[in-house]
Amino acid sequence: MVRDWFRKLTPSRKTPAQSAETNLALLNFTDVESTLTLYVKALSDDRLKLMSSTLARQGSYSDGRTIFVPPEVDLFADTRQARLFYRLTSAWKVMQVRSGSLDIERVPDPATSREAFVLYEILSGEWIDRTIVSQWPGLASNLATLRQDALARRSTNGNGAGFAHLEPLIQSLLRLPIDRRPRTDDISAVTEGFNGPNGVLRDMLLATGDMLHGDEPEQSLRLAREFARENGHTEDAALPQAVHYRGRIRPDLLKPPQIEIEDIGEQESRGSGHTRRRPPRSEPLQVESNQPNPMRNRQRRSPIGGRQSMQISLADREPTRTFHQVPLTEEEKKGAHLYQEWDYLRDMYLPEWCAVRTRRPKSGSTEKVEQILRRHAALIRHLKQQFEALRPERLRLNRQLDGDEIDLGAYIDSQADQVAGFSPTEKLYSKVLEKERNIALACLIDLSGSTGAWIDDDPRNDQVIEVTRRGIVFLCEALTVLDDKHAVYGFSGSTRKQAEFSTVKEFDEPYGETVKGRINGLSPQAYTRMGPAIRHAAHNLSLQSARVRILMLLSDGRPNDFDGYGGRYGVEDTRRALIEARQAGISTFALTIDSEARDYMPYMFGLGHYLVIEDTPALATKLSDVYRRLTVQ
């Protein structure tokens, strides 16, 4: 499976403690985002986008449309070196896409031959280095600096990793000059100390001569397959450490994975040799495990040589279900909010099953938010006028036994009655009644990887995350004219051990520059584990002293995660979390752009508690409109 080799491909991330011990400087992507984005646009003729991703901590990657770099760099003692790393990595990935090195016809399938894939990654990487020097000579010195750094790290770390027989090839190629065709004496010098008795390494380097300075990456593929046949197979070995500035090739993002969807309840029948009947769409519960093909609308080739926005695949496809899981360890529980999970197969809750880890996104630039405010100023004014109409009217009650002030008319009538010999009234006061809305809203935003997709799979359109960002800005701006308490949360995560819950705005926090900076920094993350996010948001809502509590969910797909939280299992747990919220007096409502949502939303949220938005750009205005309709008195 693609996921199996990718786990071997990615080295473990260095912990903050390790960074502290070695006095490494930390540079966040947000510190260089604006300049790097312009840099990538210029190099790619405005055809590639740049964003950070937690998955890129194991190595930058691209799906052919977007370059994904790590959210921070902590490899160097000086932030200037970290800035150089970000800049060169971005340029390197642009060249990788522009040159066609990510064309799926060229990238060997690791499921078929992992050795050919590894060799292609090595050889095409060297070819790209030399192509950069040829086409962008201004980067030559910076590239040489990072090549030396990469070589030093490999020499220090040793070569005991998987595919260890390829480590001499990697280090020898890094030692070769990149500004000219290597000569025989260059090859002899770099292979000294590595060369085996048969001179295999020297022969391999000699064979790469034409490839390294060729015009097309096609020779990289030919040599990779040829070397793989000669070296034999090492399919079970861990992949070698990546050259840090090159990152990785992600075949799982370049083509649609072949996924066999199986319902967990049918596992026994599988073992007995029976073929499972695919349930018709008319069966309400079985539909939940009948996942649509997430790649159905994404088969078109990218116009610039890569493949589709398949960060989507990490969030949309249903993973293999595994149920031989064990409770969280004390270490995994540390610093987390623990929540139960509903296992519909066993008809029971799994206690302390999910670790929700809260975080406050760093507040930085507000450029994107300010741009939204400028472009949509008229619409925002209109939304505020609509929300002003929701303000409760003041009602004055006259002739009261007590009140805020004297009712002059009642007092005059009382004096007149007394003069006339009648008994005067005691209701001489007036008071004003002000209806309080007393509403608390928690807006829960799906930040899964699929929100990095372009609308209609067209890179000329906005990404889903940009539409979501606009919707949040519209809602927060409109709510400034009301006293409704509101919070904005984002959720994503990778397995039940790492369910991330981002606090964009808390209930008692003003909507100001800090919050705008967090909204500005929203970006696609990993998977869509809805249950624990809903439970934590409902917990926060339950702490608010409000007469009406509303939980609104924005999502672009059904719940899933790669540790078995998908299909009907994910739907059932999410449904149970929503039932728990309603039992706590919280109203729930969902807005989704998933075209398949009508298959599972009625079951999860209930009729009248969700809205499927066919026109994705309309999500931005629908969010405010739905809230206004839900809270009208």
Which tens digit of pLDDT belongs to each residue from 266-287? 444 444 444 444 444 333 333 3
Residue 313 has pLDDT above 60, yes or no: no
- Percentage of the chain beyond pLDDT 70 is 79
- 528 shares a domain with 398: no
Residue 329 is assigned to a structural domain of this protein: no
Q: What is the structure's pLDDT at 406?
A: 85
- 519 shares a domain with 417: no
Reported as a pLDDT band with limits 50, 70 and 90, residue 22 is low
- 605 shares a domain with 469: yes
H-type alpha helices, 306-452: 311-316, 330-333, 367-375, 377-388, 408-419
Q: What is the structure's pLDDT at 193?
A: 61
- 459 shares a domain with 367: yes
Residue 80 host element (H or E): helix 79-98
User: 167-175 and 184-191 are packed helices; what angle lies between their axes, rounded to 10 degrees?
Assistant: 130
pLDDT tens readout for residues 413-470: 888 878 888 888 888 787 766 666 788 999 999 998 888 888 777 777 888 899 899 9
pLDDT tens readout for residues 23-32: 788 999 988 9
CA distance 128 to 145: 16
Residues whose CB falls within 8 Å of the CB of residue 297, separated by 6 or more in sequence, listed in order: 457
Reported as a pLDDT band with limits 50, 70 and 90, residue 310 is very low
Q: What is the structure's pLDDT at 608?
A: 84
Residue 446 is assigned to a structural domain of this protein: yes
| Mean pLDDT, rounded, of the chain | 78
By residue range, what is the domain housing residue 408? 394-434
Final residue belonging to a domain, choices 231, 253, 275: 253
Residue 316 is assigned to a structural domain of this protein: no
Final residue belonging to a domain, choices 219, 253, 287: 253
- 453 shares a domain with 418: no
Q: What is the structure's pLDDT at 234?
A: 53
Tokens 């994904």 identify what position?
Answer: 68
- 180 shares a domain with 248: yes
Q: Model pTM?
A: 0.49
Q: How do strand 610-612 and strand 66-69 relate by DSSP bridges?
A: unpaired
Please say whether the beta carbons of 631 and 548 come within 8 A: yes
Q: What is the structure's pLDDT at 320?
A: 47
Residue 535 belongs to domain with CATH number:
3.40.50.410
Backbone angles phi, psi at 504, to 5 degrees: -80, -45
Tokens of 203: 């022969």
Residue 348 has pLDDT above 50, yes or no: yes
User: 567-583 and 530-542 are packed helices; what angle lies between their axes, rounded to 10 degrees?
Assistant: 10
- 598 shares a domain with 496: yes
Q: What is the structure's pLDDT at 128?
A: 92
Count the domains in the chain.
3
DSSP 319: P
Q: What is the structure's pLDDT at 402?
A: 81
Burial class of residue 595 in the structure, from the number of CB atoms within 10 Å of its CB (0-12 exposed, 13-18 middle, 19+ buried): middle
- 488 shares a domain with 452: yes
Q: What is the structure's pLDDT at 196?
A: 54
CA distance 115 to 120: 8
- 523 shares a domain with 385: yes
- 375 shares a domain with 402: no
Longest dimension (CA), the chain: 130
- 497 shares a domain with 417: no
Final residue belonging to a domain, choices 253, 282, 298: 253
CA distance 168 to 178: 18
Residue 217 is assigned to a structural domain of this protein: yes
pLDDT tens readout for residues 200-244: 777 777 777 777 777 777 888 888 888 877 665 555 566 678 899
Q: What is the structure's pLDDT at 278?
A: 42
- 542 shares a domain with 401: no
Please say whether the beta carbons of 336 and 355 come within 8 A: yes
Residue 614 has pLDDT above 90, yes or no: no
Lowest mean pLDDT among 103-107, 158-162, 437-441, 490-494: 158-162
Residue 285 is assigned to a structural domain of this protein: no
Q: What is the structure's pLDDT at 162?
A: 53
